[in-house]
Amino acid sequence: MAHVLTLIETTPAGAAGDSAGELLAAASRLGTPVAVAAVAPGGGEPLVAGLASLGAQHIHLAESEHVGRLVGAAELEALAVAAAALEPAAILVPHSVLGREVAGRLAARLGAGLAIDAVDVRGEDRRTVATHSVFGGAYTVESTVEGGLPVITLRQGSVEDRAPAVDAPTVTREAIPADPGRFGTITAIREPSAASSRPPLRGAEKVVSGGRGLGSKEEFVLVEQLADALGAALGASRAAVDAGYVDQSAQVGQTGVTVSPKLYVALGISGAIQHRAGMQTAKTIVAINKDPDAPIFEVADFGVVGDVFTVVPQLMESLKEVAR
């Protein structure tokens, strides 16, 4: 089977990033999954067991001085070197800030085709077909690269399955070239201080979002309470952010975070196209809105026409009873 490379993003502490599992699962559908990680010289050993458990058949550790110093330089070089050695059928990269930077440069470097923000991939007639949710989620389209290598960025949270664990992956380690070319310089790395124990929005399995319908910052606490009752991440519409109900980091949509959770609960959100662009690929959408004509109901799997201040407390009561 052909190799399929995946770019493993690492945390500042050197662990595999959240996207590793789904990239390897997607790669395993297309061929032999290869994990490629850029690591500091001598580093990367703690990654091996985790990547094997996520289904990496081969683990390619590319040592570079530029890890943590230049944005994407080491990752780009790591993938380029692995691609030259393994002649992969496809290269999968997270659709993150770093992943997008690397994917564009890599496609230009390799003369490959670039398919961005895929929500699914599959193999068909020896080609890789990427699925994309476009125009605010209104259309689902497919892309292929004809006669060349596809570099595909995969939206985080879009692949649910996981590849079976691998007992003894092959591990290769290689020092990669020192000349970086022009890249952004990293002057400091600061871990965001966890403001709460809730899961991070990006990649969350469950998201509870609130909109302008909550009416005030004080009332927005209801959204937080339901998120906590469900163990969900907290999201918001832009109108709720602009009104100061919640921090901008919670904004879901075209100009916020794109999520693909298993469950998305929209409270007092009308469902404008710019909001839907960031959540429409959620597996199950539940909407509570007092306007029966709110556009959010067009994409909801379950809709409740009602006042959030009546319905949500009842919902939380029912959740408590189920938990008893």
Binding residues for ligand FAD, per CB under 6 A?
Answer: 211-213, 237-240, 251-256, 268-270, 272, 274-275, 278, 288-291, 294, 307-309
Only one residue has tokens 């960025």, namely 153
Please, which residue, 57 or 251, has the CB nearer to ligand FAD?
251
Backbone angles phi, psi at 296, to 5 degrees: -60, -30
Please, which residue, 157 or 278, has the CB nearer to ligand FAD?
278
Please, which residue, 140 or 274, has the CB nearer to ligand FAD?
274
Give least dist CB 201 to ligand FAD, A.
12
Please state, in angstroms and rounded to a whole number, the distance separating the CA atoms of residues 114 and 150.
6
Give least dist CB 241 to ligand FAD, A.
8
Give least dist CB 156 to ligand FAD, A.
16
Give least dist CB 289 to ligand FAD, A.
4
Please, which residue, 155 or 238, has the CB nearer to ligand FAD?
238
Backbone angles phi, psi at 71, to 5 degrees: -70, 105
Please, which residue, 113 or 268, has the CB nearer to ligand FAD?
268
Q: What angle do CA 103, 203, 317 make, to 5 degrees?
A: 165
Give least dist CB 264 to ligand FAD, A.
12
DSSP string, 169-211: -EEEEEE--S---S-PBP----PPP-SSSSPPSTT-SEEEEE-
Please state, in angstroms and rounded to a whole number, the distance separating the CA atoms of residues 284 and 286.
7
Q: What SS3 class is residue 248?
A: helix
Residues 6 or more apart in contact with residue 64 via CB below 8 angstroms: 38, 39, 40, 41, 73, 74, 77, 78, 175, 176
Please, which residue, 38 or 240, has the CB nearer to ligand FAD?
240
| Beta strand extents in 177-269 (DSSP E only) | 206-210, 233-236, 263-267
Give least dist CB 242 to ligand FAD, A.
8
